[in-house]
Each structure stands twice: as structure tokens, then as C-alpha cells.
Amino acid sequence: MLINLFGREIYIKKSLVVIAALVLLAAALAIGYAVNSSGADIIIKNDDDFSMAWEESKGTSDIPTTDRKPEAANQKAESEGGQNVAEPEAEVEEIKVYVVGCVKNEGIVTLKKGQLIDDAIKAAGGATEDADIKNINLVYELTENVMLRIRSVKESQETSQGSSNNNAGAQSKSGAKSSENEGAAGSGIEIIKDSGGAVVIGNKGSSGISGGKININTATLEELDTLPGIGAATAQKIIDYRQKNGKFKKISDIMQVSGIGASKFDKIKDIITVD
């Protein structure tokens, strides 16, 4: 087979031409198969630069992929933004708790309303070795400004004995054991200015309380028993002393009572009066 190329005659065998045509046909078929298996259509735009654009053949094929991405991104951002928005929590009210007695660091501690007696004791340095911790309800919730007096094991025993003697008549009638100082918080602790089974200081009808302080000249045994470090036995000694010697002239005179020294007086001097 003769082919005229640039003025020259070139002889090519027909078999070579057939082979070349078959190769071109195979290449075209391979390209077509690859395009069909990709799941996309080829659109050739009639532009000057003969550019090619790809369009998805599934889903919303009318909208180009590049146009849908911003919309999808915005929807995702709105969805995530809605999940991350949290309502502001209400601030928990703070309370003041005066912790005295068998703790390492007596004083006023600040807690959140609803915290426990255990939190107050820990804030005061923890309980001492002689504290009657086994008879304290450590999970008792504190909801207001209070004074906590942590009793020693000895004080708890004296309180129980004193309460038993004072309630002997009531027990003989009802057959039930009662204790003035045993309540929801336990017998190893005194909660002052709180209900929940503890003695409440500040009752207007009590003759032994004046301006929130205990009047050691008129207070009852139960009222004296609420003082830090003063158990039922020592409270009875105070009553016996004033019955024998008359009223206390000044608050420091209480140290003349057996069992009350300078250290114990320092704990109660700010909450007692003789007026």
C-alpha cells in the first residue's frame, strides 16, 4: 500500500494499517469503559477553550458538587452549633459554717449550699482523734448558716447519760427512749441554728438565751449543753455551782466550775453572757 507523505511515496503493508486501527479502537473502548464504571457523565462544553466539566450522576445531579459543598458545610455547622449550646447553670448559694469542738482548725468555713457535714469537717482540718465520728451523719446536708460542734466520745457518753436521767419519767410512761440531742445529724454532733433534730439557739421564748448568746445565769441544762466543749455532766455542774454560790458576776467566773479551764473558756466566751 503506497502513501504519499510530504511528496514522498511510502509503502506500508495493509496488515500494519489494520493493526493500528485495532489498537486505536481498543484504546477508545478502554476509555469508554473507564468513564462508565466511574458513575459520572462527561459533558463537553461548546466553549472556546473546549473545557470539560464533571457532574455527579447520582443524588441531586442537577446541582454541581462545588455548589453543594458550602450548603452542606453550613448545615453541619448549624447542627454542631445547636448541640454545643448549653444553658448556663444557676450559681449555687454560699453558706457560712462555724465549726468548733473536736476538729483540728476551729473557725468559720465557706461551703456551697447543700454540701455535707463531712465537707465542713474537712474544711476545718479534719476531726481529731477523740471525735465521736462514728456517731455523726457525715452525709447530712447543710442548707443555711450554722454552727457545728463536734463532740468527743466522752461528751457523747455524758450527753446520753444526762439525757437518760432527765427523761427517766417520760420513759417509764411511754416505754420509748428519747434524747434531746439525737437527731438526723447523729449524737456525735451538735447543730446550732438548724432544725433537723438538733437544739436550736435563738428561740425567743427561752429565758436562758439573750441576743443569740447563752445566759449562764438562767440557761437550762439543755441550753448549756449546746456550748462547745460543755457536755451534759459539765452543764449540770454549772447549774449546781450557781445554785450554791449565786449568779455569775462576769463570764470568766465560769472557770470556777470544775472541768472548765482557760482553753474551754476561750471556746465559749464569745457566745455566753451574764446579762
The end-to-end CA distance of the chain, in Å, is: 140
- Going 125 to 126 to 130 to 132, the CA torsion angle's sign is positive
* Domain coordinates in residue numbering, the chain: 1-44+52-58, 132-273
What is the C-alpha to C-alpha distance for residues 191 and 183, in angstroms, rounded to an integer?
Answer: 10
132-273 is classed in which CATH architecture? Orthogonal Bundle (1.10)
Q: How would DSSP label each residue in 183-217? A: STT-TTEEEES--TTS--S--TT-TTEETTEEETT
Pairing outcome for strands 209-210 and 213-215 = antiparallel
Tally of CB atoms within 10 A around 69: 10
Tally of CB atoms within 10 A around 151: 27
User: Can you give the pLDDT at residue 203?
Assistant: 39
What is the C-alpha to C-alpha distance for residues 266 and 229, in angstroms, rounded to an integer?
Answer: 10
User: Can you give the pLDDT at residue 181?
Assistant: 39
Pairing outcome for strands 146-150 and 209-210 = unpaired
Q: pLDDT tens string for the chain (275 positions)?
A: 666 666 666 666 677 777 878 888 888 887 777 766 665 555 555 555 544 444 544 445 455 555 555 565 566 555 555 556 666 677 888 998 989 889 999 888 999 999 999 999 999 999 999 999 999 999 999 988 888 989 998 888 876 665 555 554 444 333 333 333 346 778 889 888 643 333 444 433 444 554 568 899 988 888 888 888 888 889 999 999 999 999 999 999 999 999 999 989 998 988 999 87
User: Can you give the pLDDT at residue 75?
Assistant: 63
Length reported for the chain: 275
